[in-house]
Structure 1
Amino acid sequence: MTNIYFNRWFSTVYHYMNMIRDNPDGQQFTFYGTHSDPGHISLQACEVTEREPAVKGKEYVDFAVDFCRRHRIDVFVPRLNMLDIAKEIHRFDEIGTKVMVCRDTELLERMMDKDRFYEAMADTGVVPLPEYYVAETAEQFEAACERLERNGHRVCFKPTNAEGGMGFRIIDNAIDPLQSLYGWVGLSISFEQAYAALSTVERFPKLMVMELLEEDEYSIDCISDAQGQLIAAIPRRKSSGRIYVMDDKPELAEIARRTAEYCRIPFAFNIQVKYNKGVPKLLEINPRMSGGLYLACLTGVNVPYLAVKALLGQPVEPVVPRLGIRASYLEWPVLMKDHEELPIKN
């Protein structure tokens, strides 16, 4: 029996735990989970759970090490505080816990700070980058917008350290402020509104001001071995509504191959690109399983389980995903276990 621990993850990790549990090799796992919310749906896939303390940095690592020691955890799959955990990976090595994380902390730091990562990826030939500028003052923001518009681009911006779509906005000077009050909340904002907000401070946290990529967006879910050798890559395109298409796109498979070769990210990672004028350009690379991975796994590649096998040092052969398929998702009711059945430690 292998004890496997997921700390604070997305709700869809519920699926990943069950994919590992229902593996084709009949390997047995006991699942442990922690979260700040004892009612979080991910914990319903666990046999043992605890409430996470409201701490950060070294204190959080202390908590995670203690949890792994007390429960004799064999495999730890972190999302929250991944960098802090990677920096003290030796502490987990000492207690015999294998951690699904990239040990190259310099690379991890760059990936979590988008402007540094773009600088590192420039001129490597791995993946094309959008035109972008970094702004920390309202004047820099204005200059970046003007330059991008002169170069024929629509403009968007995003904090350099944001995860997913947090803080993402599109400059749209045709927006009707009154109409926007009566319509759906959107991502668009006028330059005047953005500039006015940014001008309220002398210096703000860094923003990436960049060309808006206006064509298809792909999330490429990748699985690699412990040395970062690519095992499989699954391009996933958002279509209409809730429909996703796992496309056979050779240029995206090549981007995944070059990324794996250059970055050597082990186990599971995700590359996000978006096309503009027919060219796929980098949005970000996440050194972990993506939130939508469960859709990509419908191609016949059980990424969560293969990643665990790779971490445990078990052989994992290259897999050919079944591409050209369409998929969707729906809400699925889950009967919540009582707290008596699902103990939460304070």
Structure 2
Amino acid sequence: MTNIYFNRWFSTVYHYINMIRDNPDGRSFTFYGTHPDPGHLSLQACDHAEPEPELYGAEYVDYALDFCRRNRIDVFIPRLHMLEIAKEVGRFDEIGTKVMVCRDIELLERLMEKDRFYESLAGTGVVPLPAYEVAETAEQFAAAYEKLRSGGHRVCFKPTNAEGGMGFRIIDNERSEQDKLKALYGWVSATIPFEEAYRTLAAAERFPRLMVMELLPDEEVSIDCLADADGRLIAAIPRRKSSGRIYLLENRPELLEIASRVAERCRISFAYNIQVKYNEGIPKLLEINPRMSGGLYITCLSGVNMPYLAVKAILGEAIERPEPQFGVKASYIELPVLMK
């Protein structure tokens, strides 16, 4: 029996646990989970769960290490405090716990700070980058906005270390007062006028770094990737967001080539995700997440059980290169789950 531990994850890890549990080899696993919310959906798929304390830095690493020791964890798949855990991965090695994390600390630090990662890829030809500037004062923000706008770009911004869509805003100066009134009765919008953003940012002498970027208005694609422990690419599956909740799994040569070049340069191990967005037919990098993506359960409809294969990879087992089924059109709906 192999013990697997997921710390504070998204609710979609519920699917990944069940994908590993329902593996085609009929292997048995025991799943452990922690989360500050004892009713969190991710814990409902676990065999053993406990509330996770609000700890940071070295204290959190000590907690996770103790949890792994107490429960004889064989494979630890972290999301929360991934960088801090990676820096202390040797301590987990000593107790026999394999941690599914990028061990290249310098690379991991760059991946966590988008501006640093963009700098490392500039001029390499690995993947096209959007035009961008970094700002941490209102004056820098204004200068970045004007530079990008003068280059013919619509402009957006996002914190350099944000996850997902957190903090993402599109600068839109065209909204009339009537439009603003209508917006109060509709969905919350990600748009904001420049003057409003500038006034808010000017309230602080300095603020956490923002990426002020070219807006990429066209289709968004996530490329879910699987690699072995040495970062050699095993599979890459592009998942394009279509209308509403519809996704398409597509065999796009330009995206598979991006995945191959990223793997060759970065050597990220196990499961990770490359996000790109198109502008005038060119796929440009948004970010790379060195972990399983939130939408991986849809990608696995290709017939490739990436969570289970990632576990096999970290256990050092041979993996036959899978043949994903492309041309899959999929969506998702809410389903009731009986709570433990």
Pairwise CA distance, 1:201: 1.2
**Residue in structure 1 matching 2:212, options 184, 206, 209:** 209
Separation of aligned partners in 2, 1:136 and 1:5: 38
Residue matched to 1:120: 120
Residue matched to 2:262: 259
Answer yes or no: is 1:275 the counterpart of 2:275.
no
Task: Note the 1:1-346 alignment, pairs <5 A.
Answer: 1-176=1-176, 177-337=180-340
Pairwise CA distance, 1:182: 2.6
Separation of aligned partners in 1, 2:191 and 2:221: 21
Pairwise CA distance, 1:180: 2.3
Q: Given that residues 157 and 210 in structure 1 are in contact (C-alpha distance below 8 angstroms), is that contact kept between their aligned partners in structure 2?
A: yes
Separation of aligned partners in 2, 1:134 and 1:216: 24
Matched to 1:276, the amino acid is N
Matched to 1:116, the amino acid is R
4+ residue segments displaced more than 3 Å = none
Separation of aligned partners in 1, 2:204 and 2:46: 45
Structure 2 unaligned regions, length at least 5: none
Separation of aligned partners in 2, 1:320 and 1:121: 30
Listed one character per residue, the Cα deviations across residues 87-137 of structure 1 (whole Å, up to 9, x for unaligned) are 000110000000100101111110000111100111111100000000111
Residue matched to 1:343: none
Separation of aligned partners in 2, 1:222 and 1:129: 20
Listed one character per residue, the Cα deviations across residues 273-308 of structure 1 (whole Å, up to 9, x for unaligned) are 000011000000000000000000000000000000
TM-score (norm 2): 0.98
Separation of aligned partners in 1, 2:136 and 2:130: 19
Matched to 1:279, the amino acid is I
Pairwise CA distance, 1:178: 2.8
Separation of aligned partners in 2, 1:173 and 1:99: 47
Give the SS at the match of 2:189: coil
Matched to 1:80, the amino acid is L
Q: Given that residues 175 and 188 in structure 1 are in contact (C-alpha distance below 8 angstroms), is that contact kept between their aligned partners in structure 2?
A: no
TM-score (norm 1): 0.96
Pairwise CA distance, 1:26: 1.1
Separation of aligned partners in 2, 1:160 and 1:234: 26
Give the SS at the match of 1:182: coil
Separation of aligned partners in 2, 1:318 and 1:261: 17
Separation of aligned partners in 1, 2:97 and 2:75: 6
Separation of aligned partners in 2, 1:122 and 1:238: 27
Matched to 2:70, the amino acid is R
Pairwise CA distance, 1:309: 0.0
Q: Given that residues 115 and 134 in structure 1 are in contact (C-alpha distance below 8 angstroms), is that contact kept between their aligned partners in structure 2?
A: yes
Matched to 1:108, the amino acid is L
Separation of aligned partners in 1, 2:338 and 2:204: 48
Separation of aligned partners in 2, 1:199 and 1:334: 46
Listed one character per residue, the Cα deviations across residues 169-223 of structure 1 (whole Å, up to 9, x for unaligned) are 0000012333322322110000011011011111111100010001110000000
Separation of aligned partners in 2, 1:175 and 1:324: 39
Structure 1 unaligned regions, length at least 5: 338-346
